[in-house]
Structure 1
Amino acid sequence: MTNTIIFDLGAVLIDWNPDYLYTKLFTDEAEMRHFLTNIATSDWNEEQDAGRSLQDGTEWLVAKHPDHEANIRAFYGRWEEMLGEPFHDVVEIFRKLKESGKYKIYALTNWSAETFGVAKARYDFLHWFDGIVVSGEEKLRKPSRDFYQILLDRYRINPEETVFIDDNYRNVLAAREMGIPTIHFTSAAALEEELPAYGVTI
C-alpha cells in the first residue's frame, strides 16, 4: 500500500528554463542555443547542484570561455529570471494529495543550495512538503544511489510503500534499480491517470 509520494521539482512542479533569461541577452536564437548547449551546459550547472559553489563554478567557466564572460556571469547573477510559473495543474494534484491526509509527501531535487532559498520564497507550495532533500546541501545529486538513500533513511521511508515522480528518465531508472516504484512524469493529465495504478487516489 502506497503511503509516501516523492516529487522531483524542476520540470514537474516548477518551470525553470534558462531560455527565459537568455532570450533577453541574445538577439540570435542560434547563438543562444550554442551558448546553452556548449558553454553554460546542463552538466556544468549540475556541478553546482552537487555542491560546488556558484562562485567557483562561474570562475571556472569564465577561465575556460573568457569571450563569454558577461553571459556566463549572468547565469547565476540573474538566475531568478530563469524561474517561470509553477505548473499549476501539478500543484493542484499535490494540494489534493496533501489535503487528503493519506500520504507523506517529500521532494528530492537536484538544486543548488545557494539558489534554493529563492525558490522557497517564491513558491508557497514548497512549504507543504513533509521534507525536502536538496542535492546542493547534501553534496550529492540524482542519479547517485547515495542521494536517494539519504531521503529514505532520514524519513524512514519504505521503498515498497512509495511512488517517486520525476521527469528525467535517468533519475527514474536509478530509483527503480533501488526498488522504488516510479512514474516518469510527462504531464499533469498523465500523472493523474497513472497514480491509481500505484494505489494513490486523489
Structure 2
Amino acid sequence: MTEIRHIVFDVGKVLIHYDPNLPFSRLIPDEAERKWFFDTVCTNDWNIEQDRGRTWEEAEALLIADFPDHEENIRNFRRHWHEMVPHAYDDSVAIMEALIDRGHDVTILSNWARDTFVEARTRFPFLERPRGLTVSGEVGLIKPDRAIYDLHAATFGLEPAATIFIDDSQKNVDGAKAAGWQAVLFRDAGTLRQQLGSMGIDL
C-alpha cells in the first residue's frame, strides 16, 4: 500500500452534524407526515441537485409547481437550513486539526450547496484550516462521480494512490477508490484514529 501523503475530509456527518429532522420535527410534528414529505417532496435526490449547483430559487419553483399545497414547507427547507447543522463533531475536528498541526497535507472535498457552505464557513472557522477545499456546488460536480475526485486531485496536486479520503457515505468511499484513492468509511472519531494509526499516520 502506498504511503499516505494527502488526507482528504468530507464535512457533513464527519466534521459537522446534519439532520433535516431537527427543524422539521417542529414544522411537521406528525412523524408519518414528515416521513412522507421527505420521501416524496423534499427528497434527498432533490436536495443533492443544490449540491451540484442548482439554485434554491429554481429548486423551490420546481417542487412548488408539483406540490403547491406544500409551498410553505418547501421554502422552509432553505429557511431553516441553519437548524439542520447545529454543531460540529469536536472529536473529529480535533483529529483534523491535529493532523494539520503535525504538518500533514489536509484538504476538504464535500457535497454542499454553494450558498449554505458560505454560511457554514462563517459559523465553523475550522473549515478555513485545511490547505484547500472543493465544494460541489461551486464546481458543478458531486460525489461519487469520478470527475470531482479527479478535479480535487488536480487542483491540489494530490497523488491519488497516496491520498486517503474520509467520508460517511459508502458510495462516496467507493467513488474515491474508483478514482485510485485510498478511502475509509467514517463511523466515529475513535474508529478514525485507529484507521489512521494503522496506516502509519501519527496523531
**TM-score normalised to the size of structure 2?**
0.96
Where does residue 8 of structure 1 map in the other structure?
Answer: 10
Please say if 1:58 is aligned against 2:64: no
CA deviation profile, 1:53-99 (whole Å, cap 9, x unmatched): 11000110111111111100001122112112101110111111111
Q: Please tell me the root mean square deviation across aligned C-alpha atoms, in Å.
A: 0.9
Moved over 6 A (4+): none
Instruction: Output the amino acid matched with 2:173.
Output: V
Q: 1:49 and 1:116 mapped to 2: Cα distance? A: 10
Q: 2:50 and 2:163 mapped to 1: Cα distance? A: 28
Where does residue 73 of structure 2 map in the other structure?
Answer: 71
Q: 1:78 and 1:184 mapped to 2: Cα distance? A: 29
Q: 2:63 and 2:6 mapped to 1: Cα distance? A: 40
Where does residue 126 of structure 2 map in the other structure?
Answer: 125
Instruction: Output the amino acid matched with 1:176.
Output: K
**1:5·1:104 contact (CA, 8 Å) conserved in 2?**
yes
Q: 2:151 and 2:199 mapped to 1: Cα distance? A: 23
CA deviation profile, 1:132-179 (whole Å, cap 9, x unmatched): 000001011001111111110011100121100000000101111111
Please say if 1:111 is aligned against 2:96: no
Where does residue 155 of structure 1 map in the other structure?
Answer: 156
**1:16·1:84 contact (CA, 8 Å) conserved in 2?**
yes
**1:48·1:57 contact (CA, 8 Å) conserved in 2?**
yes
Q: 1:152 and 1:27 mapped to 2: Cα distance? A: 44
More off after superposition, 91-100 vs 163-172? 91-100
CA shift, 1:182, in A, is: 0.4
Q: Given the alignment, which residue of 14, 18, 36 partners 2:20?
A: 18
Where does residue 101 of structure 2 map in the other structure?
Answer: 99
Q: 2:181 and 2:20 mapped to 1: Cα distance? A: 31
CA shift, 1:187, in A, is: 0.9
Instruction: Output the amino acid matched with 1:169.
Output: Q
Where does residue 201 of structure 2 map in the other structure?
Answer: 200
SS of equivalent residue, structure 2 residue 137 = helix
Where does residue 175 of structure 2 map in the other structure?
Answer: 174
Q: 1:33 and 1:84 mapped to 2: Cα distance? A: 21
CA shift, 1:123, in A, is: 0.3
Where does residue 44 of structure 1 map in the other structure?
Answer: 46
- Consecutive unaligned residues of structure 2, counting only runs of 5 or more, are none
**1:54·1:114 contact (CA, 8 Å) conserved in 2?**
no
Instruction: Output the amino acid matched with 2:68.
Output: P
Instruction: Output the amino acid matched with 1:124.
Output: P
Q: 1:198 and 1:66 mapped to 2: Cα distance? A: 52
